Structure 1
Amino acid sequence: MLIVMSLGGSILAGDLDASRFKKYADALLEISKEHKLLIVTGGGVYARKYIEAAHGAGADEATCDFIGIDVTRLNAKILIAALGSAAYPEVPVNYNEAAVAMQFGKIVVMGGVLPGQTTDAVSAALSEYLKADLLLIPTSVDGIYTADPNVDKNAKKYSTMTAAELVQLSAGTSLNAGSKSPVDPIACKLIERGKIRTIVLDGRKIEDLIQVIRQEAKKPQTACCGTIIIP
Structure 2
Amino acid sequence: MEKIVMKISGSLLFPPDQKYYIKLKDTIENALNKGYKLGVVVGGGPLARYYINTLRELKVSEAILDILGIESARLNALSLSAMLYPYSIPKVPKDLTETLEIFNNNLIPVLGGLQPGHSTNAVSMILAEAIGSKNVINMLNGINGIYTKNPKDPESKKLDRISYEGMEELIKRMDQVAGGYELLDHVALEIAKRSKIRVIFIDGKNPETLLKVLDGEKIGTELVPE
SS in 2 for 1:85: coil
Alignment of 1:112-191 (within 5 A): 112-140=113-141, 141-151=143-153, 153-173=154-174, 182-191=183-192
TM-superposed deviation, 1:27: 1.1
Distance 1:154 1:144 in 2: 14
1:121-143 CA-partner distances (Å, limit 9, x unpaired): 11112212322131111113111
What's the Cα RMSD here?
Answer: 2.4
CA separation of 1:172 and 1:57: change in aligned 2, threshold 3 A: closer
Please tell me whether the aligned partners of residues 121 and 186 of structure 1 are also in contact (alpha carbons under 8 angstroms): yes
Give the Å deviation of 1:212. Answer: 0.3
1:22 maps to 22
Q: Judge which range, 192-201 or 60-69, deviates more.
A: 60-69
TM-score with structure 1 length normalisation?
A: 0.84
Higher helix share: 1
How far apart are 1:173 and its partner, in Å? Answer: 3.2
Q: Between Structure 1 and Structure 2, how many residues are aligned?
A: 219
Q: How far, CA to CA, are the matches of 1:170 and 1:19 in structure 2?
A: 34
- Structure 1 residue 184: Cα displacement: 3.1
Partner of residue 224, structure 2: 230
Corresponding residue SS for 2:146: coil
1:155 is paired with a residue of what secondary structure?
Answer: coil
SS at match of 2:208: helix
The equivalent residue for 1:50 is: 51
Range with bigger deviation, 102-111 or 164-173:
164-173
The answer on whether the counterparts of 1:38 and 1:108 sit within 8 Å (CA) in structure 2 is yes
Equivalent residues in 2 for 1:75-94, closer than 5 Å: 75-94=76-95
Closer, same or farther: CA 107–28 of 1 in aligned 2, 3 Å: same
Q: Hey, what does 1:178 align to over in structure 2? A: none
TM-score (norm 2): 0.86
8 Å CA contact 2:82–2:89 kept in 1: the answer is no
- Fraction of identical pairs, as percent: 32
Name 1:218's counterpart in structure 2: none
Letter of the 1:226 counterpart: G
SS in 1 for 2:66: helix
Residues 147, 53 of structure 1: alpha-carbon distance in 2 compared, 3 angstrom cutoff: closer
Unaligned runs of 5+ in 1: 176-180, 216-222
| Stretches (4+) displaced over 4 A | 53-59
Residue 86 of structure 1 aligns to a residue whose secondary structure is: coil
Which ranges of structure 2 fall in alignment gaps of 5 or more residues? 177-181
C-alpha distance in 2 between matches for 1:52 and 1:161: 31
Q: 1:68 to 1:147 in 2, by over 3 A?
A: closer
